[in-house]
Amino acid sequence: MSSILSLSTLPDLASSTMNMRKALDVQKDEGQPKFVFIAGTPRSSHSVTTASLDDHPDVLALPFEFLYFPFFYRVAAGRKEVPVAELNHELIKVSFKNFRRRLGHGDGIYVDDISNSLVDNCSVGDFDFQLFLRCLQSGKVRCFNAVDYLTFLFKCLKNSNNRYSDRSVKYYLVNTGARGLDWCNEDLFKSSMFLFACRDAEDSYASIRERQLKASDMTELFSLSGKKSLLYWLETYRRISSYAKIRVDSDNFMVVPQKKLQKESTSVLRDICSFLKIEPCPSVFSLSICGSLYRGNALDGDLNKGKIAKRTSKPRTPLSGFEQRIFALLDLFDFPEYKKRDFPHFGFCEMLKTAFLSAFIEIPNSKILKGGSSNLRIFLGRVKIFCNLCSIYLVLKNDWIKMMLIRKGNRHIKSDPFWINK
């Protein structure tokens, strides 16, 4: 197994521990940087926003998406503070794959399938990954709460990046997505800045669904208790809308619509800099990870050009009529327009008709079941999909049943603040 998977295999650091700790503590004299959280709907240009701010002299960015607070509370298992050695061990296990995807990207393209791209050193640009691991080890005798450990991670990151190690920064930027944020932590919301990247829920879901269909089929996607099924995503978007609309008028909360970012990228990036009270340096208008070229991770390869793309990837399998209409039941907020979305009515009789058309006509045979299947199996699969679509419609109206089914298929949300606070 690769040496970076375990902190216990790192070389003896006795001679350098004191120097590292001094470096990690230097910001006590500089003033603590604020956190900037990029937290919005999935597939809404979080990564390119992070990559745009990556090389700014006032911003130190964590170089990969990290659903941080679910990670911390899962490890904490009810504890307010956790030994740093325990957190570090889980961090390497959980995030190693993300490091390789974001940092071991070769020609600057996000690597989705890393099975054939194993690397022992994820250093890139001015960032020394092995030094980062050694910095993590230097704090092994302490315990941290969620915010303090995140601060410690950034101090380790800063000390491991040659461009930032000897200078002060104004912000620590982390791309958590909406699901990775603790929306009910009032102290966090008072002391931090938030960029809420948003996209129409239907378009966002279509992009997620495109990825999921590479490994699954429609019967799995529409399962009532499946992992990250349609029901899971519908409740996810409802919660994101509910959490964010409470914060939308706050001075430290900026809405960043994906469509506007794509069409007017220069002006939106300048607005983000103005919101953060930092200069719009030239580096803001190009994409990088730790100062190294980043081309993006759009599903359409032609869009990975190192600049913010002018459009989103087009899904190969369009949403069915039922999937488009079911969002009408979620009571979502239109963040670019700062108002409640005006959906057409989706009544029971229309639901039956739409579910039938989607299950038996709109969905192609190749997406019903994985692999080759007989006509009978495909027909039975369509019947199952029709029944599940009708059930999803009914389940959305009962919060207790809805959450019971979601938890059954998604046990990872047990200690997730995004799921337990509402």
Instruction: List per-block mean pLDDT (blocks of 10 residues) for the chain, which spans 422 residues.
Output: 41 43 45 92 91 94 90 93 91 68 54 48 75 81 90 93 91 96 95 95 93 88 93 97 95 96 94 96 88 73 70 85 94 87 87 97 90 84 96 95 94 90 62
Query: What's the pLDDT score for residue 288?
Result: 85
Query: What's the pLDDT score for residue 137?
Result: 85
Q: Domain ranges for the chain, please list them.
A: 3-200+248-303
- How far apart, in whole angstroms, are the C-alpha atoms of residue 123 and residue 161? 10
Q: Which two tokens stand for residue 11?
A: 């070389």
Burial of 286 (0-12, 13-18, 19+ CB in 10 A): middle
- How far apart, in whole angstroms, are the C-alpha atoms of residue 383 and residue 104? 44
* Helix, strand, coil percentages in the chain from 3-state DSSP, rounded to 5: 50, 10, 40
Q: What is the CATH code for 3-200+248-303?
A: 3.40.50
Please spell the DSSP secondary structure of 126-187, one letter per residue.
Answer: TB-HHHHHHHHHTTTT-EE-HHHHHHHHHHHHHHTBTTTTTS--SEEEEE-TGGGS-TT-HH
Query: What's the pLDDT score for residue 26?
Result: 41
- How far apart, in whole angstroms, are the C-alpha atoms of residue 301 and residue 155? 35
- How far apart, in whole angstroms, are the C-alpha atoms of residue 220 and residue 385? 9
Sequence-ordered list of residues with C-beta below 8 angstroms from that of 132, at least 6 positions apart, any chain: 156, 157, 159, 160
Phi, psi angles (nearest 5°) of residue 152: -60, -40
Closest CA to 93 of 214, 213, 5: 5
Three-class secondary structure of residue 63 per DSSP: coil
Q: What would you report as the CA-atom Rg of the chain, rounded to the nearest whole angstrom? A: 22
For residue 77, the one-letter residue type is A
- How far apart, in whole angstroms, are the C-alpha atoms of residue 104 and residue 87? 23
Query: What's the pLDDT score for residue 255?
Result: 96
Strand 59-61 and strand 171-175: the pairing is parallel
- How far apart, in whole angstroms, are the C-alpha atoms of residue 37 and residue 250? 14
Strand 288-289 and strand 59-61: the pairing is unpaired
Cα–chain center distance at 299: 16
Closest CA to 402 of 246, 239, 240: 239
Let me know: does 296 contact 48? Beta carbons within 8 Å. Answer: yes
Closest CA to 367 of 228, 232, 219: 219
Let me know: does 64 contact 102? Beta carbons within 8 Å. Answer: yes
Query: What's the pLDDT score for residue 12?
Result: 43
Provide the Cα torsion 329, 244, 59, 135; round to 10°.
-90
Query: What's the pLDDT score for residue 20?
Result: 47
Question: What one-character DSSP code corresponds to residue 362?
Answer: I
